[in-house]
Amino acid sequence: MMYWIPLIAALLVSSPAMGSDPAMEVVNCWDAKRGIVQPVRRKRCTGREVTTAEATRLKADYERQRQRIMIQSDAIRRAETARRLTFHSAGAGFAINESGAILTSAHVVSTCDAVELRVPDSARRLPVRIRATDKANDLAILDSGYRVRRYLRLAPYLPPEGEPVAVIGYPQEGRIRLTPRLTPALVNYTLSDPRARGLIGVLGDVRRGHSGGPVLDSRGRVIGVLKAKIDSVAASRLTGTILKHLAVVTEARAVAAFLEKSRIRHAIDGTPGHERTEAGLYTIGTAATVRLDCLRHG
């Protein structure tokens, strides 16, 4: 049924008007995204020019890969149905060493029947094991076997009042984000006493889904882990000041103590470094941050 395609190609190539211009020759053009090969003129080939034999091999490889993905997806769906687990909430976590250990807030994972890490830019979800928790400081360290593109280092000292920081996470904006976002914020010690409580206050548009994410200083170092947003009404009654977007962060010293106690490798960056742009902080923060889904029995 398909013999007419190479026949037309042969006629077009042998045509005196067309044959003189190589760009008008008909070639096999491989479209890797769609897994198909089409006979088109060379100048219109937006994929890769291949031989007939190579096209046959590529199509077979693409189909095998597609079948594997479908089988894996079906297996995941069947497993979830059998477990009867449903999505409850989402938070953030970030890699704290080159082995991919994930640091987050304990409350993001502590009440879950299962926790899954969503692989960035993919439909894949990986099961997560809780390795250690510190409920007093609301911290947890997780293992997933997944290696993120980079890991983050801790800041060596507390940031000053009013210093700009960047919160990285998956804030709910009508729906839960699939990609991390950077939210600008400012350090504010109005209701937080890091010396006594190990908490840093930040003013910014913090929402559900930010919990467990890193808070970075202007040099890309972690000053702490986002813990929770403070109730605006209660904060205003205590201070007499309207603090609409106040949140608290478990500061880096408490984080370092937890990691040392849990024997988790980590780094404290005491070098002067250089201040980064918002785009630079976004690149650093999002490359190390992942979404964590909390699942519960339905």
The residue-averaged pLDDT of 29-33 equals 84
Q: Is the pLDDT of residue 72 over 70?
A: yes
Q: Is the pLDDT of residue 136 over 50?
A: yes
pTM: 0.69
Task: Give the whole-number percent of the chain exceeding pLDDT 90.
Answer: 44
Structure-model confidence comparison of residues 130 and 38, the more confident one? 130
- Are 86-143 and 164-291 equal in CATH topology? yes
Q: What is the pLDDT of residues 195-213, one digit of tens each?
A: 667 789 999 888 888 999 9
Q: How many whole angstroms separate alpha carbon 21 and alpha carbon 35?
A: 28
**Would you state the CATH architecture of domain 86-143?**
Beta Barrel (2.40)
C-alpha distances in Å from residue 33, one per residue of 12, 23, 61, 172:
27, 23, 13, 31
CATH for 164-291 is 2.40.10.10
Least confident segment among 61-65, 157-161, 243-247, 258-262: 243-247
Least confident segment among 30-34, 49-53, 229-233, 275-279: 229-233
**pLDDT of res. 81:** 63
**pLDDT of res. 15:** 47
Delimit the domains of the chain by residue range: 4-81, 86-143, 164-291
Which residue, among 87, 192, 103, 191, has the nearest Cα to 141 in the 3D structure?
103
